[in-house]
Chains A and B, each alone.
Chain A
Amino acid sequence: MTEHDKGAHISTIVSADVWEATCKEIGDGRWNLLALWGDTGLVRMALWDTRENEITLIGLACPEGTFPSVARHHPPALRLERAIKDLFGLVPLDTPDTRPWLDHGRWGVCEPLGQNRPAVAKTPYVFLPAEGESLHKIPVGPVHAGIIEPGHFRFTASGETVVRLEERLGYVHRGIEQLMAGADLPHAAKLAGRVSGDSTVAYQLAFARAAENALGHAAPPRAHWLRALMAEMERIANHLGDIGAICNDASFPLMQAHCGILRERVLRAAGNCFGHRLMRDLIVPGGVTADISAKATDILRRLLDVLQKDLPPLVRLYDNTPSLLERTVGTGILKPKLARQYAAGGYIGRASGRNFDARRMIHYPPYGALNFEVQMRLDGDVNARVWIRILEVKQSIALIRQILDGMPEGNIFAPPPLAGTPREGYALVEGFRGDVFVWLGLDAEGRVRRCHLRDPSWFQWPLLEAAIEGNIVADFPLCNKSFNCSYAGHDL
C-alpha cells in the first residue's frame, strides 16, 4: 500500500459490542479519549493508546440514530455527546445528562448537521441543583463587565465559598462544521484558521496535516520547519499575554504592562517576517505560503535576544512579589487524577502532572529533530500554570534558535495530489493551549465532506468547574484566567 492509498482506510468501523467494550476501557484508563464527534449516520471516536503512544480511530454506524453512551463510563465525554445530539440528532443511550449543550434554541433549526428540521419549542435549561441552608446562586454572564468572550457561569456559593460552579457555553457557535462541508481545501484551510483567533497557526497546522494525512502527501521539509517556527512564535506571544493577564487579575498590572510590551514585540516581528501579526492563512495543505528572508532571520534573532534579556527580570518580579504569590499559590488546585482522567492538554495538564505534549509524543516534523524537554509540575495551582507558561516561553525561545539554525533549504510548497477516491485523515498538533485534534473526510473531488476540529478546551472547561470548588468567589477570575480556555474554539 502506498502512502497515497492509506488515506482511504484510517478509522475502523466497529460493532456496538466493541464500542461498549472500548468505552469501558476508556473509563479504566487504558485509553485516553481524544475526541468524540458525529458524522452522517456515524459516531466517531479518537483514542490515545496510553501504552503504545498511538492514536486509534474507531467509528460506529448508527442506523437507528442512537449509540451507546460513552459518558456512562467516562464522564469527560458528556459534553461531546450533548453536542453530537444537538448537531446531528444522534442520541446517546443511557446518558447521564440529556440536556442540550450547544443548541440554546436560537438557531431556528434543529440538528443542523443531521435532519436539519425546523426548530421546536425548547424547554427551559435546568441547571444542576445544589440545595442546603444559606446557599445562594450567583449568575454571571454571558455579558460581562469587561470585553471578553461570552459564557455563562452559575455559581452556588455559601457566603464567599463556591459550592458548585456550572458552566453554560455555546454563545459563540458559528456553525463552522457546516461551513466546512462542501468547501474545497484552500477555503476550508481558511475556515480552520478562524476557529479560535489566538490559535490560528495551531488550527491551520492541524488542518493542513490532516489534509496531507488524508491525501498521503508530505509537505517539503523547509515547510515543516517554517510551520514549527510560526507555531512557536504563536506560543510565545500567547503565553506572554497570559502571564501578564493572570497577574492583572490579581490586580498587579505592572506585570501585564511589561509582558504586553514583550508580546507586542513578538507580534511585530511576526508581522515583519511573515506579513501578518498573528500569522494567519500562511499554513496551507501542501506547505506554507510565505518564506522568510535572511533579513527576517536577523529580525527573529534580535527578537530572541531581547526576550532572553527582558524575560528573567520579569520572572524575578513575579517571584519576588509576595502579595502576588499569595494570590496564585494554592489557588484553584486541579488534582492530577482529574487531569489524567480528562486527558487535559497544554499547561493545564502539565501543571497537574500529565506529561503529555503532542510535539514530543507524536514527533511530527520537525520536532523529532529538535531538542527539548516537556515541562511538568505536580502542584496544579494557579502558580504552577503560570510557571509552566514561563518555562514554555523559555523552551520556545530555545526551539526557535534551533529552528533558525537547522532550517533546510528548498521548496516551501508542494501541491497536494487529487483525491480520486473518498478519503479521511487526522492530525494532532500542540497549540499553545493544548493539543488540537482535526479529523476530516474528503470526497472523491477533494472537497471536504465533513471536518471536525476539536479544541483542547473541551476537556479543560469541565476541569475549571472542579478546580474552583472550595475556593472563594472572588478568586474565580484568577483561576479562569490561569486556565484561559477558549470559548470560540469550544463553541465552534
Chain B
Amino acid sequence: MVLIDELILQGVQMTGVLLLPPLLLGVTRKIKARLLRRRGASVFQPYRDLLRLLHKRPVMAENASWLFRAAPYLIFAFTWSAAVLVPTFATGLVLGRSADLVAIIALLAAARFVLALAGMDVGTSFGGIGSSREMMIAALAEPAMMMVVFTLALIAGSTQLFAIAAYMASSAVGLRVSLGLSFLALMIVALAENGRIPVDNPATHLELTMVHEAMVLEYSGRYLALIELASAMKLLLYVSLIGCIFLPWTLVPAAGGWGACILSFLFYIGKLTAAGAVLALFETSIAKMRVFRVPDFLNVALMMGLLATLLLFVSKGF
C-alpha cells in the first residue's frame, strides 16, 4: 500500500514537471505584459502554442542530418529526467535516491551539448553564432554552479538534493554568509542558464542578438514544441531547485499523508507564481547586457560561489 502511494506521488511529480512549465512561462509573460501596461495573452497561451506546434508538420533543412532530428528528443529526455529529480512538493520519493545535484547538472549539460550540436548541424550562420555564444555562457556558468554545489555539500554533508533540502529545513542550518552568497550565485546562474534578460532576451526578434533562439531557429513543428517545452521545463527546474534549497519549509516527506502533500503542492504553485512575478519584475527593470559583459556577470557568480566555499574552510560556522 505504501509502495503504491509512493509510486503515485512519484507519478504526480513526473507529470507535474511536465505540465506546469508552460504555466510558469505564461504567468511570467502575463505579469511582464501588465508591467508594460499591455493586456497580455492568457496565462494558458504557452499550452496553446505547444499544441499548435505539435499539430504542424516539421519543415527540415535539406542538409539536416540524423543528429538534427534526434536532438529534440534527447534534449527533452535529458531535461525531463533532470526536472523529475528535483523535489517540488515532496521529499523521499522513489527516484529520490538518484537525485544527486551533480547528476542533475550533468543531465542539463548533456542537453545543452546536444542542442549546441544541433544548432550547428544545418550550417546556418545564426545557428553557429548561437551555439558559440551558448557554449561561452555555459563554460562560465557551470563552474559557478559547481561552486554552489560544493558549498551546499559542505554544509549539508551530501550532494543528495533530498538530504540537502531536509538539512536546510532543519534548525541546524542557522544564518550563514556562505548560504547568502551561494543563493545570489545560483540566481545569476539560473538567469544565464535559462537565457533570460540580462543575458539573453527570450522575446527578441533580432537574429543577431539571439543566443538560445538562434540555435533553435531552424526547428519547427513537433521538434520545436519539444525544445520549447524542454526549455520551459529547465526554467521550472531552476525555480524548484532554488525553492527546495532556500525555501524548503513547505516540502513534506512522501510518507506524510495525502492532506499534507496536497497542501504542499499548493504551496509549490505559490512558489512558482512568486518566482514568475520576481522574474518579470527583474526583467522589466533592466536592459540586456552587451555579449562581452556576460562573462563579467557570470564571474561575479563564480566569485561568490568560490568565496562561499572558501569561507566554509575557514570556519564551519560561516
Contacts and interface: CB of A to CB of B under 8 A. Distances in A.
A378 interface: no
B197 interface: yes
B129 interface: yes
A138 B123 CA distance: 11
A474 B287 contact: no
A321 interface: yes
A147 to B, nearest CB: 8
B207 A475 contact: no
Interface stretch (B7-15, B108-116, B198-206, B222-230): B198-206
A47 interface: no
A257 B287 contact: no
Contacts of A146: 205-206
A477 interface: yes
A43 interface: no
Given A137-B125, A472-B292, A326 B287 contact: yes
Contact of B201 (A251, A254, A321, A323): A251
B130 to A, nearest CB: 11
B129 A472 contact: no
A251 B208 contact: no
Interface in A317-336: 321, 323-324, 326-327
Interface stretch (B30-38, B41-49, B177-185): B30-38
B81 interface: no
Nearest to B32: A253
B53 interface: no
A326 B217 CA distance: 28
A145 B217 CA distance: 9
B228 to A, nearest CB: 16
Q: Which of A137, A145, A472 has the most CB of B within 10 A?
A: A145
Nearest to B291: A474
A249 B206 contact: yes
A321 B36 CA distance: 16
B287 A145 contact: no
Interface string B180-195: 0000000000000000
Interface in A203-224: none
Contacts of B38: 257
Chain A, interface residues (CB within 8 Å), range: 20 to 34
A163 to B, nearest CB: 14
Interface string A250-266: 11111001100100000
Contacts of A136: 125
A438 interface: no
A476 B208 contact: yes
Interface string B243-285: 0000000000000000000000000000000000000000011
Contact of B287 (A138, A140, A251): A251
B290 interface: yes
Interface string A461-482: 0000000000011111100000
B286 interface: yes
A448 interface: no
A323 B198 contact: yes
Given A138-B129, A160-B292, A324 B209 contact: no
A140 B208 CA distance: 8
Nearest to A136: B125
Contact of B289 (A138, A321, A326, A473): A326
B176 interface: no
Given A323-B198, A327-B290, A477 B36 contact: no
Contacts of B290: 326-327, 472, 474-475
Contacts of B37: 257-258, 261
Contact of A327 (B203, B204, B288): B288
B284 to A, nearest CB: 6
Contact of A323 (B35, B206, B217, B287): B287
A86 B266 CA distance: 69
Given A138-B129, A145-B207, A249-B206, A254 B292 contact: no
A145 B126 CA distance: 11
A136 B124 CA distance: 12
A302 interface: no
Contacts of B35: 254
A187 interface: no
A261 B36 CA distance: 10
B287 A144 contact: no
Contacts of B201: 251
Contacts of B208: 138, 140, 473-474, 476-477
A247 interface: yes
Contacts of A145: 205-207, 217
Interface string A225-262: 00000000000000000000001011111100110010
Nearest to A253: B36
Nearest to A471: B290
A140 B293 contact: no
Nearest to A147: B205
B287 A160 contact: no
A271 interface: no
A175 interface: no
A477 B198 CA distance: 16
A139 interface: yes
A247 B284 CA distance: 12
A341 to B, nearest CB: 28
B125 A251 contact: no
A405 B179 CA distance: 65
Contacts of A138: 125-126, 129, 208
A469 to B, nearest CB: 15
A302 to B, nearest CB: 21
A138 B35 CA distance: 36
Nearest to B288: A251
A147 B292 CA distance: 28
B287 A324 contact: yes
A251 B288 CA distance: 5
A251 B191 CA distance: 15
Interface string A121-153: 000000000000000111110001111000000
Contacts of A474: 208-209, 290-291
A257 B205 CA distance: 17
Given A137-B125, A145-B206, A323 B289 contact: yes
A140 B210 CA distance: 13
Nearest to A247: B287
A251 B197 contact: yes
B54 to A, nearest CB: 22
Contact of A250 (B205, B207, B288): B288
A254 B284 contact: yes
A128 B287 CA distance: 35
A28 B288 CA distance: 43
A248 to B, nearest CB: 9
Nearest to B136: A160
A323 B207 CA distance: 21
B199 to A, nearest CB: 10
A275 B184 CA distance: 55
A475 B290 CA distance: 7
6 contacts: A251-B288, A252-B287, A257-B36, A323-B286, A472-B292, A474-B291
Given A138-B125, A327-B290, A473-B129, 4 more contacts: A251-B209, A254-B36, A323-B287, A326-B287
Interface of B: 35-38, 125-126, 129, 197-198, 201, 203-209, 217, 284-293
